Amino acid sequence: MADKKTPQLDELQNGKWPSFVTEIKKAAVKNEASKELLHLLERSYEEKRGHWKHGGIVGVKGYGGGVIGRYSDLPEEYPHLQAFHTVRINAPSGWFYSTDSLRKICDIWERRGSGLMNLHGATGDAILLGTTTDQLQPIFDELSEEGFDLGGSGSDLRSPSCCVGPARCEHACYDTLEACYNITNTFQDELHRPMWPYKSKIKFSGCANDCTASIARSDCAVIGTWRDSLIIDPEEVKNYAASGMNIQHVCEGCPTEALKYNAETQELSVIADECSRCMHCINRMPKAITPGNDRGATILIGGKSTIVQSAFMGWVIVPFMKMEAESDYEEFKDIITRIWEWWDENGKTRERIGETIYRLGMSKFLTEVGLPAVPQMVYRPRANPYVFWPEDEIKK
Amino acid sequence: MAELVVNGVSYELDEDGFLEDASVWNEDVAKALAPHEDVEELTEEHWKMINYLRDYYAQYGVAPMVRKLLKDTGYTQKTIYELFPTGPGKGACKVAGLPKPTGCV
Ligand code: HEM
Ligand code: HEM
Ligand code: SF4
Ligand code: SF4
């Protein structure tokens, strides 16, 4: 294809932020598809519309998901973009790579694809952007050789992801990396072979700071917490005070007024039963305050985006669960399996688990998956009196 | 646009190898589509699945959910991938002449 001008995209090479246009231009030197992509994008900027056809069903043998098929609607003018499929690679827990493994992915991708990547897709996969149908199986075979597997797509378990957790963060209340890896391995079949009413996502955050945004972006959020008292180091409190920190101000930020500071004695104390484990004081004084010793996670269900029922954030279904590698995460796996089973039995086509629960009710959901109803599940009790009673609970 | 020639008749396929016009499907077309989905020969078990999918589609106007399909055919997820290595959507629905699955695939 003759070199065309890209005046609008060129504008985006100005300014301080790293420019994606510069990156595509680098790839375009080596690859025709990337070059055409640049020109097609410029055209989209001019016309203010996308130039990709609806849908696309491609994949690799044995799997029902993992590849997103895409075709340009202008194949005559952009022959190298006729097919421009995306391959999702399940990324390592917490996105920790060795340069060696990244080089291997890049080598395969430069030979068999556009050379463009997205590190990472919002769900967490390493995304290879743009290749043709005949390259999919060879790419998959070569990735497998190097120990990589595809991620999820379609009505399956999408690739679980986690925060950096205990690898680098002193707040982590369980080993998010290990849990993510272990649980991903257990549910390989659910991930590769779509079988449910719709997609389902799990995300693991080590504490309530929720650095994976699991509460908003996963059907099942596993958020680290503790159930004894947070731990205060009195010496470090004094150091913070000496450094000029306004500790009274930290206490004022406590949503439950559980944290008390005596400025005269420089003593900080907590009413453990009233602390809601919001992380505020720990974030402000990480050297002096740490999560308690009896650690685990809160399990939330239902987070999803707008379509169809409106956006949901996850809500509590298990206030506290131990998350330990020694038990092989048995309790979690057991519950999530029952939840999927219930949803698969009751969910309508393209109905997320949150919507199925919304439609059929928490009490039915909890009863049928075998979870006890507890006050932590609600923000406040219902305000209307339209209460259903099971027939057998009524004294006649 | 790719095409498939069966018994001297030419059928239009879309980029993914699905029939452009699902209504022109016949058994010989299914046999010709099968090798594209890594199915060497359509056995009785394949036909059971194909006929089920076609009947369901004729009745409801949509492809069945996987769970429904498993219940009605008695196959397991594993059997389906053994029969159709590229899966129930890309493999079986294509050979059975159902429209292409859509949505957030
Ligand atoms: C002299 C006139 C009226 C009298 C003595 C009267 C009396 C009552 C009584 C004793 C109740 C039952 C309260 C309870 O169970 O706690 C009631 C409920 C009700 N009344 Fe009246 N009422 C009168 C006029 C009206 C009018 C004009 C309307 C509507 C246009 C009305 C609408 C209702 C409704 C909707 C309820 C049910 C409220 C609920 O269930 O929460 N009433 N009334
Ligand atoms: C769309 C319109 C209406 C709706 C959705 C509606 C809804 C309701 C509901 C939910 C109740 C409570 C039933 C129960 O818990 O037992 C009720 C009770 C009642 N409504 Fe209506 N209502 C409507 C119109 C009206 C009108 C126009 C009147 C009177 C002119 C009326 C008079 C009453 C009365 C008197 C009761 C109390 C009955 C009782 O306590 O036995 N409602 N209504
Ligand atoms: S969620 Fe908590 S444990 Fe995980 S990285 Fe963020 S602060 Fe650390
Ligand atoms: S973690 Fe939050 S709720 Fe608990 S004491 Fe600290 S500020 Fe208060």
CATH number of A7-146: 3.30.70.2500
Token code pair at residue A258: 């559980």
Report the atom number in ligand 3 closest to the C-alpha of A172.
3
Architecture, CATH, for domain A157-227+295-393:
2-Layer Sandwich (3.30)
Under the banding of pLDDT at 50, 70 and 90, the label for residue A4 is confident
List of chain A residues whose C-beta atoms are within 8 Å of the C-beta of residue B89:
57, 64, 154, 194
State yes or no: is B93 an active-site residue: no
Query: Is-contact A69 A57, C-beta < 8 A?
Result: yes
Q: Hey, what amino acid is at A387?
A: V
- pLDDT, tens only, B45-78: 999 999 999 999 999 998 999 999 999 999 999 9
A7-146 and A157-227+295-393: identical CATH topology: no
Would you list the domain boundaries of chain A? Answer: 7-146, 157-227+295-393, 231-290
Give me the residues paired with residue A315 across strands. A301
Query: 3-class DSSP state for residue B12?
Result: strand
Interface of B with A in 70-99 (CB under 8 A): 70, 77, 81, 85-90, 94
Mutate to test the pocket of ligand 3, among A207, A218, A290, A295 (most ligand atoms within 8 A of CB): A207
Q: Which of B66, B100, B104 sits opposite A195 (nearest CB)?
A: B66
Residues with a CB atom less than 6 Å from ligand 4: A 230, 254-256, 258-259, 270, 275-282
Chain B nearest-CA distance from A54, in A, is 8
Mutate to test the pocket of ligand 3, among A95, A209, A290 (most ligand atoms within 8 A of CB): A209
Please check the confidence at residue A2 and state whether its pLDDT lies above 70: no
- What is the structure's pLDDT at A55? 79
Average pLDDT of chain A, as a whole number:
96
Q: Which of B66, B86, B104 sits opposite A199 (nearest CB)?
A: B104
- Tell me, yes or no, if A208 comes closer than 8 A to chain B by beta carbon: no
**Chain B residue whose CA is closest to A346:** B67
Mean pLDDT, residues A206-235 taken together: 98
| Fold adopted by A231-290 | Alpha-Beta Plaits (3.30.70)
- What is the structure's pLDDT at B2? 84
Please check the confidence at residue A373 and state whether its pLDDT lies above 60: yes
- Determine the residue among A52, A57, A189 to mutate to test chain B binding: the one whose Cβ has the most chain B Cβ atoms within 10 Å: A57
Q: Which domains does chain B have, with CATH numbers?
A: 2-96 (1.10.10.370)
Q: What HEC string does chain A produce?
A: CCCCCCHHHHHCCCCCCCCHHHHHHHHHHHCHHHHHHHHHHHHHHHHCCCCECCCCCCCCCCCCCCEECCEECCCCCCHHHCECCEEEECCCHHHCCCHHHHHHHHHHHHHHCCCEEEECCCCCCEEEECCCHHHHHHHHHHHHHCCCCECCCCCCECCCEECCHHHCCCCCCCCHHHHHHHHHHHCHHHHHCCCCCCCECEEEECCCCCCCCHHHHCCEEEEEEECCCCEECHHHHHHHHHCCCCHHHHHHCCCCCCEEEECCCCEEEECHHHCCCCCHHHHHCCCCEECCCCEEEEEEECCECCCCCCCECCEEEEEEECCCHHHCCHHHHHHHHHHHHHHHHHCCCCCCHHHHHHHHCHHHHHHHHCCCCCHHHCCCCCCCCCCCCCHHHCCC
For the entire predicted model, the pTM comes to 0.85
Under the banding of pLDDT at 50, 70 and 90, the label for residue B1 is low
Please check the confidence at residue A1 and state whether its pLDDT lies above 70: no
Q: Which of A64, A82, A189 sits opposite B89 (nearest CB)?
A: A64
- pLDDT, tens only, A328-358: 999 999 999 999 999 999 999 999 999 999 9
> Could you tell me whether strands A86-89 and A126-129 are parallel, antiparallel, or unpaired per DSSP bridges?
antiparallel
Under the banding of pLDDT at 50, 70 and 90, the label for residue B105 is low
Token code pair at residue A265: 């004695």
**Chain A residue whose CA is closest to B86:** A61
- What gap in Å lies between CA A106 and CA A121, rounded to an integer? 16
- Which among B5, B58, B104, B105 is annotated as catalytic? B104
- What is the structure's pLDDT at B104? 67
Give the Å distance between the CA of A382 and the centre of ligand 1. Answer: 24
- What gap in Å lies between CA A373 and CA A158, rounded to an integer? 28
Asked whether the beta carbons of residue B62 and residue A349 sit closer than 8 angstroms, the reply is: yes
Please check the confidence at residue A3 and state whether its pLDDT lies above 80: no
Question: Predicted ipTM?
Answer: 0.86
